A and B are shown apart, each in its own frame.
Chain A
Amino acid sequence: MEQDETLNKIEVRGLKKSYIERRTKKRFFSQCRPQEDCKVLDGLTFSIPSGTFACFIGPSGCGKSTMFRIVSGFERPSEGSVLIDGQEVTGPSNRHVCVFQEDGLFPWLTARQNIAMGTEGLKGQQAREEVEEYLELVGLSGFGDHYPHELSGGMRRRAEVARALITNPDILFMDEPFGALDFVTRLQMREEMVNVHQMFDMTILFITHDIDEALQLGDRIIMLSDRPAKVAWDMEIHEPHPRDLSAGDLRQIRKEIYHKMGLHVAL
């Protein structure tokens, strides 16, 4: 039992989170009545072995982002615990880097300066070379001196992924990172994420609302229920990359996910 736990990179036990609505703040459009606890997470439990690409899917508003903030250390759970490498998470760490849903690049820095943020501790020349290397890796070689507002949405995301990767993190947390991109760019980013996961030895916790994205990327897909969120389904996918989503197995899994989400659409 003890042995088994140490193998897991991320261990989440009985995670609960509720927000207490303040009496003074009456919100007309709130889904919770005043003074009532607003339960978001209701006992999430899962564990993710080291090196896994874990994808979380679930209906919108189910608490995926809340879970994300708790597991990455930005918020405290009401109950339960998150262990990373067997240590209780008490705050964010630069060993576990996040790519947030919204643009997280600092708009007052160029792409190069943004990526260089992750090279603290390295000496001048070495840091500079490394930054160039990572710019190249994400295909932004010619764009180092551009400010984020001068880059396209996809390029901004790439720069942000590079900024996260350059710190050589143990865990990469990503919260719907490609949600705001157009369809084709999103497909490209998927491909690149597969490469990234193969190149770097790290655990990725990836939240998405795109079922195909999860099928394409995940070694593991964890499906959350409606709010308050519980683990509705937890499955491993052993399909090798690059994956053909129209292949039998994956089609079958997708069908099952659709079904569990209460969707009855033809595939």
Chain B
Amino acid sequence: MVLKKAGLFPIVLAILLLWHLVTAALNVPEFMFPRPLSVAGALWEMLKNGELYRNSVSSLFRVTVGFYLAVVTAIPMGLLIGRQRCLRTILNPLVQFLRPISPLAWIPMALMWFGIGDKPAIFLIFLSSFFPLVVFTTSSVLNIRTTYLRVAENFGLKGFKVYMKVILPAALPEIITALRITLGTAWLVIVAAEMIAVKSGLGYLIIDARNSLRMDMVVAGMVVIGTVGLILDYMVRLLERMPSVEWSRMRR
């Protein structure tokens, strides 16, 4: 109760203090595990020279484009596969097979197809989100209560209307959960994707800082990645508060 009232700030402060005390007491060398103050220094330095802003924007750009492409293709596809048994029989094995392949395994192919620059990274993000989104959307369609589908049939809804008025809204709560998970993965993958083939982005920032043995910058980069990840998750969570989605939380 006391902790809850105090809020986040003292907890963060305590962790930073502990971090400092432990590294200082054990005399850990800076290049093994930098202290909070030097990380803060690196953050300030990168903030001043614009590196932080530039790299965050390039990472966010790639994630946004890749993720958006995945959303607009995977959700309609998942809705169709969930509804059409024959599509499910044909496509499900393929999707299920491709899904567990780490997007990173596609790096060689991505480079061959798209060369260097933003494109291969965007492609990897797309892949990392596409397959899970298809699978999640399909299963959320299969989970729709038969009663809703019967009501739709009873009221004479057909074709496209059934998708827009019943299937999509009924599956939406689960789709939003899937969006949260896949956006999280996309953000994980972007860092790895940027360690190859590009000269910008938070992944590049980290690998570049390591090459010049600036471990304070590496950790500063990690802090930024964590923070942006939290913000992204928070943004998707806002979708869960839409009045037309709230019902699924109430039912639990």
Which A residues fall within an 8 A CB radius of B? Answer: 72, 74, 91-94, 96-98, 100, 102-104, 106-109, 117-118, 120, 147-149, 167
Contacts and interface: CB of A to CB of B under 8 A. Distances in A.
Given A108-B169, A108-B244, A97 B147 contact: no
Contacts of A104: 147-148, 150-151
B150 A149 contact: no
B172 to A, nearest CB: 7
Given A100-B150, A106-B166, A120 B155 contact: yes
Top 6 nearest A-B pairs by Cβ distance?
A: A107-B247, A149-B250, A108-B169, A108-B244, A94-B156, A102-B147
A149 B251 contact: yes
B145 A102 contact: yes
A108 B155 CA distance: 17
Given A147-B246, A149-B251, A108 B170 contact: yes
A74 B151 contact: no
Interface residues of B, number: 21
Interface string B155-192: 11000000000100110100000000000000000000
B245 interface: yes
15 contacts: A91-B153, A92-B153, A94-B155, A96-B154, A97-B155, A103-B147, A106-B151, A108-B170, A108-B172, A109-B244, A117-B155, A120-B155, A147-B243, A149-B247, A149-B250
Q: Which of A92, A108, A120, A147 has the most CB of B within 10 A?
A: A108
Contacts of B156: 93-94, 120
Contacts of A74: 150, 153
Contacts, number: 58
A148 B247 contact: yes
Interface in B14-57: none
B contact patch SS: helix
Nearest to B153: A92
Given A100-B147, A103-B147, A108 B154 contact: no
Contacts of A118: 155
A117 B154 CA distance: 11
Given A96-B154, A149-B251, 5 more contacts: A72-B154, A92-B150, A92-B153, A97-B155, A117-B155
A98 B150 contact: yes
A149 to B, nearest CB: 4
A117 to B, nearest CB: 6
Name the prevailing secondary structure of the A interface residues.
loop
Nearest to B247: A107
B251 A108 contact: no
Contacts of B246: 147, 149
Contacts of B169: 106, 108-109
B170 A97 contact: no
Contact of A92 (B154, B166, B251): B154
Nearest to A94: B156
Interface in B123-166: 145, 147-148, 150-151, 153-156, 166
Nearest to B156: A94
Contacts of B245: 108
A104 B144 CA distance: 12
Contacts of B147: 100, 102-104
B146 to A, nearest CB: 9
A202 to B, nearest CB: 15
A148 B246 CA distance: 11
Contacts of A107: 247-248, 251
Nearest to A101: B147
A102 B150 CA distance: 11
Contacts of A109: 169, 244
B247 A147 contact: yes
Contacts of A98: 150-151, 154
B133 to A, nearest CB: 20
A107 B172 CA distance: 12
